[in-house]
Structure 1
């Protein structure tokens, strides 16, 4: 049974990373990596890898993330205080550099899968700034959640990673100790219809749940929606039990919080 479970996890992982993931040589120096995730223009997000030397790989977005935001009217500079704060917070959380408008990370070749995943998640979070700006949000969704926890005296750990069995790590936004029912591990979604983040949540829970005694929560920013997006919930919970994971709307948590507590 243990071997069967291990093989199942491996198959889930391999299916996830293979899905529409295409590697193509652009020239002698660069490899294009097409991912199944989409940006604000509904185009696939592409990353680019190059060898700094035989042991070090640089992965970048070629500057497209910030360029596309600029085309949408979002200029991430210190003058745009809210957006700049959120942008810097994302880079710090995922260990990503901003090299003259190009989002990038350098890594030993053996850590390439982890670095690629970190950059991809950072790119998707930066893309979310367009949604936040469009709705005149003055704080990031994570800042709003942290403020809610502080106001209600809920102890938590922000922004951390859990190693998974595949030599990489899964990023989560909050961990909440619970003396009675076990730890709550939370990943947040600032866009209520973000299938990208639902897919990543599903993969991360499959990859880490057997090594972490916790319940995993996808916390969705649904404050302007009547109900949770059914496709998002189905994607996030694919082949997961209700005891392992759940999807919560932040609007409902604010009204009656019974899950994200320490008791």
Structure 2
């Protein structure tokens, strides 16, 4: 059984692939960059709380007994959502069909805008390699197609769907690290990934079992027992639909179109009827 990943874990997995893609793109201009490009492990993942704490990142690398050159990657979720001019979410509930659902079930979902702050620290033994890493990474990010990655968010056990995370134009901050050790040099690159996180409220099996009691895995107005049914809404929280309607197709009134919808499959059929 595939382990369900949280949105942050899904984003971290996608950024790991993004780092590997950069390593393929990079052209080594020093011996140490050539070594990093060909060594087995491309990066080391540090805890998100170590962002902006270079000594802690270096110490975590030592504890892992990783040798330089090495890229240390840390990521944390930004508490504040991205600006509305950058990412617009969908806080209201909408009925959709998930393309990756093999049964093509109709579900109710919403989306939330979210930003992740990413910090890459490249540690090596010479400043030329550190500067070259930062310079080439900034060139890599100038490519429009490299600024957007796909994140496979888990919507239900066994069902994922790719959503975008994008690096915005004004969020790349390369810098040099001041390190006490004379034989250790480092380059630092900070940037933000912003995008939407999907939430399925109804129509698919929930991500987590009800281990904390009934309703512990549900949310949204659709599942809220304190909200009375709105006009045109039936007791199970779904909006009522018209299953059949006749519309005149010409001014003579002798021909009209009868449209019908199957309440279960939501398939619409039309037939012309002549009087």
How high is the TM-score relative to the length of structure 2?
A: 0.21
Q: Which has the higher helix share?
A: 1
Q: Pick 1 or 2: higher relative contact order, CA cutoff 8 A, min separation 6.
A: 2
Q: Which has the higher strand share?
A: 2
